[in-house]
Structure 1
């Protein structure tokens, strides 16, 4: 059975800003979890990434040259990481738009994430549990995903061990 997760923009931005969330996403993929993104979530990252990186680096006392270098590295990381995600155009989840909008009336920008989860029968990976947690869809926050990763890695290790048993 393949596990599908729809990744919210806040998790993608967190992955670019820090190693812990990026490591989570990479470990999920190593455990064969499919990570899916609605196009508006990708576009949200594209839009907010420069300001977030600049704010983070300025907070660390970076000069203008460091800001340019940091932003360039963050942008490269984001471009590379997109290759490992399945990014869905609106046509893939458009039929679920009205249902999704009804489920998240308090945050109308989140409907694509919810609609994609409905279309795929997937859960959502986000730390925006306050809003998306009321959508009626399974929502995994960082601490829950950490438990999932441990369980998946243990299961993979057990499969390897059982697969390599000496037939004697």
Structure 2
């Protein structure tokens, strides 16, 4: 059975800014289904140009890398996970209620979240960080 995992926006951004996360996604794409919310993808599209501007770098290449991730990462529309909003908000409310879409998608897909954001800890959804997610993938 193929494993699934939901990527938080910070993982998308890491996949663009560095090679390690992007290479891990590429390596495991044949055996793992990667998902993200439409909101996470929009956040990455919004924040990457700002990050590159701060470093006096052009963001065109970064945006191309982000677009390229869609070959491995499925962007899920809000209409598919919205029915889990109430439960997701209850679980994440004490931390960051704005993160409810990631929790909702993980609940819908019955899978863990890949993130570097501690706000997801304690939500009742398994959470993996970049330095350990390979264990979930079976390596």
Shared fold, TM over 0.5: yes
After TM superposition, the structure 1 = structure 2 runs for residues 131-146 of structure 1, keeping only pairs within 5 Å, are 131-146=119-134
* Cα distance between partner residues in 2 of 1:91 and 1:44: 18
TM-score (norm 2): 0.92
* Cα distance between partner residues in 2 of 1:136 and 1:6: 14
Farther off after superposition, 96-105 or 79-88? 79-88
The structure having more radius of gyration, on CA atoms, is 1
Residue in structure 1 matched with residue 38 of structure 2 by the alignment:
39
Residue in structure 1 matched with residue 107 of structure 2 by the alignment:
118
* Cα distance between partner residues in 1 of 2:86 and 2:15: 30
Secondary structure at 1:4 match in 2 = strand
* Cα distance between partner residues in 2 of 1:138 and 1:148: 10
The structure where helix makes up a greater share of residues is 1
Secondary structure at 2:72 match in 1 = coil
CA contact (8 A) 2:114 2:129 kept: yes
Residue in structure 2 matched with residue 22 of structure 1 by the alignment:
22
**Could you give the per-residue CA deviations for residues 101-135 of structure 1, whole angstroms, max 9, x where no partner exists?**
0110121111000000000001000011x210111
* Cα distance between partner residues in 2 of 1:26 and 1:90: 25
TM-score (norm 1): 0.77
Q: Which runs of 5+ in 2 are unaligned?
A: none
Residue in structure 2 matched with residue 94 of structure 1 by the alignment:
82
Instruction: State the superposition RMSD in angstroms.
Output: 1.3
* Cα distance between partner residues in 2 of 1:117 and 1:142: 17
CA contact (8 A) 1:7 1:36 kept: yes
> How many residues are treated as equivalent by the alignment?
138
CA contact (8 A) 2:25 2:72 kept: no
1:52 aligns with 2:51: yes
Q: Which runs of 5+ in 1 are unaligned?
A: 59-66, 153-168
* Cα distance between partner residues in 1 of 2:53 and 2:82: 34
